[in-house]
Structure 1
Amino acid sequence: MTIEPPSEPTEGPTRGRTLRARRAFRHWRRTRPFWAAVWTGLGGFVILFLPLAPLGKILQVGIGGIAGMAGGVVLMAMALLILLLPGQRHTAGVIAVITGVASFPLSNLGGLFVGMVLSVLGGSMAFAWLPEKPTKRRRSARRIRPVETPLPTGSGSA
């Protein structure tokens, strides 16, 4: 009784498309402050939907709910702006930080601190993000320096 090793998975057309899609998404993600947008969006989500919780779980009802929803919408819009227009990341990052800090007194302690911390983290990451500079390719052939020959010195007669 012999056990055959498992066969190598064949690379079909679906696997090739999936690999290309993953590589394209990875390239797209690395050309913009992706994680800053994710954290800002999550902070906005927490601040937006915490006032929509059942009445027994809301800390403040009324104007705080409206301010929380408005702050959450602004934060989610800034997350989209950070993600889709990386050239505007400084403005969107500053607005995200200000809105996140303003959510503390206006909306249930800033989404019970979680939304505030996430939005401040995401906004500061967006402000600090720098685009990656393309790497310079090395030349395959080394640069060859000409060998310098020493000048002949006098051989005795002047």
Structure 2
Amino acid sequence: MRRARAGFRRWRRTRPFWAALWTGLGGFVILFLPLAPLGRILQVGIGGIAGMAAGVLLLAMALLILLMPGQRYTAGVVAVVAGVASFPLTNLGGLVVGMFLAVLGGSMAVGWVPERPPRRRLFRRPRSESAS
């Protein structure tokens, strides 16, 4: 169990894991809020379709961020735009919670920098000053 946990930790540190998690959670909230009972939905109609489209797009961007860290800039920008666009198009962006999580995850993906391996110190001999 320890080896599996250590392996997952190593894998997680090589990609923007938390950005993908927040983006996916925001997409989940935006996607499934229109499927709530009618008493809990603020807007019925095109908002439900737009909410599903924005939610599916955000879930796809979360998977792209997680599985292809090299595409994190594009996926992060698309996630931020979809999160902000979900505010007027859906139920206030998943009652603002989904929009906030999508923007948070997208901005974290854009700002993530891969961890550099520690520098190896090379021991050099001091240059000897020779008079020639």
Normalised by the length of structure 1, the TM-score is 0.77
Which one of the candidate residues 55, 60, 70 is aligned to 1:87?
Answer: 70
CA-CA distance at 1:20 after TM superposition: 1.1
CA-CA distance at 1:143 after TM superposition: 5.5
Higher RCO structure, 1 or 2 (CA under 8 Å, sep 6+): 2
Counterpart code for 2:47: G
Q: Summarize deviations over 1:114-141 as a string: whole Å, max 9, x none.
A: 00000001001001111111112346xx
For 1:145 and 1:91, the matched residues in 2 are separated by: 47
In angstroms, what is the RMSD of aligned CA positions?
1.6
For 2:52 and 2:16, the matched residues in 1 are separated by: 25
The alpha-carbon distance between structure 1 residues 146 and 83, as it changes in their structure 2 partners (threshold 3 A), is closer
Q: Summarize deviations over 1:64-115 as a string: whole Å, max 9, x none.
A: 0010011000000000000000000000000000000000001100000000
Counterpart code for 2:30: I
Normalised by the length of structure 2, the TM-score is 0.92
Aligned residues: 130
1:74 maps onto 2:57 in alignment: yes
Query: Where do 4+ consecutive residues of structure 1 move more than 6 Å?
Result: none
Report % sequence identity: 76
Which one of the candidate residues 125, 128, 137 is aligned to 2:120?
Answer: 137
Structure number having the greater helix percentage:
2
Which one of the candidate residues 85, 94, 97 is aligned to 1:111?
Answer: 94
Unaligned runs of 5+ in 2: none
For 1:50 and 1:37, the matched residues in 2 are separated by: 20
Unaligned runs of 5+ in 1: 1-17, 149-158
Task: Give the match for residue 48 of structure 1.
Answer: 31
Aligned partner of residue 131 in structure 1, secondary structure: coil
Q: Summarize deviations over 1:35-64 as a string: whole Å, max 9, x none.
A: 000000000000000000001110001110
Which one of the candidate residues 101, 104, 110 is aligned to 1:121?
Answer: 104
The structure with the largest alpha-carbon Rg is 1
